Amino acid sequence: MATPEMRTAEGWEMQFATNHLGHFALALGLHDALAAAGNARIVAVSSVGHINGDVDFDDLHFRRRPYDPWQAYSQSKTANILFAVAAAERWAADGITANALNPGRIAGTNLGRHMTAPPASFDPAGATGVSVKDIPQGAATSVLLAASPLVAGVTGRYFEDCQVAGPHRPGVRRGVAAYALDRERAGRLWDASTRALSEALPAAR
């Protein structure tokens, strides 16, 4: 989260590569096993930080625009949601569900080890709708989506606090941005991600 500018050997921006492309590649590689398992679930851990930035399809890897650690983080977290939306549509016939979630602000992890100070828009001290969770509380929504019969068959959604999130409202650090659930954008990201992996890993074509 909010790392200094770093790149993979392929030249990909590190947060986008780590938070999205790596997970995307893993899911593609596991697809046949997931389909064979029956009623498999994919759970993508996103963040409320997605509300601070859409995916910039013209410059995914900050090759032309100045690198901003928070914009890169936000883009990668939006990508997590768009991936779930696209996977839900593409793999429904295989019995695979895919959902994304916001675990919340969790104390006691080293996720923020690169942070100096978040931007004003993140309002760490008193943002409306934000509460600090311990690790079990932060894991609860992931566990719900991975294992609970309460969400069997639910797919292509974004959850927070163990429920489907409502639309994001300005000034409130909750909810899901409309662009993160946009099916056209989800498909566009899927195609761009597939192309990137194909170019980097020719044997995977």
Structure tokens at 45: 């851990």
Average pLDDT over residues 131-135: 81
Check whether 135 has a pLDDT greater than 90. no
pLDDT digit string (tens) for 49-75? 999 999 999 999 999 999 999 999 999
Annotated active-site residue in 67, 73, 158, 179: 73
Output the pLDDT for position 75. 98
**CATH pick for 14-204 out of 3.40.50.880, 3.50.50.60, 3.40.50.720, 3.40.190.290:** 3.40.50.720
Question: Rounded mean pLDDT of the chain?
Answer: 90
Residue with tokens 């593409």: 90
Output the pLDDT for position 125. 42
Output the pLDDT for position 134. 85
Nearest to 148 by CA among 39, 33, 27: 39
179 among known catalytic residues: no
Q: Say which amino acid occupies 196.
A: A
pLDDT digit string (tens) for 72-125? 999 999 999 999 999 999 999 999 999 999 998 776 666 666 666 555 444 444
Q: What percent of the chain has pLDDT above 70?
A: 86
Q: What percent of the chain has pLDDT above 90?
A: 77
More confident residue, 121 or 1: 1
**Torsion, Cα of 177, 179, 180, 183 (10° steps):** 140
What stretches of the chain adopt beta strand conformation (E)? Answer: 41-45, 97-102, 105-106, 132-133, 158-160, 163-164
More confident residue, 195 or 130: 195
pLDDT digit string (tens) for 175-191? 999 999 999 999 999 99
pTM equals 0.89
Average pLDDT over residues 125-153: 84
Output the pLDDT for position 124. 44
Number of residues in the chain: 205
The whole-angstrom separation of Cα 1 and Cα 112 is 6
Output the pLDDT for position 129. 58
Taking the domains of the chain in order of start, what are their residue ranges? 14-204
Rg of the chain over all Cα atoms, to the nearest angstrom? 17
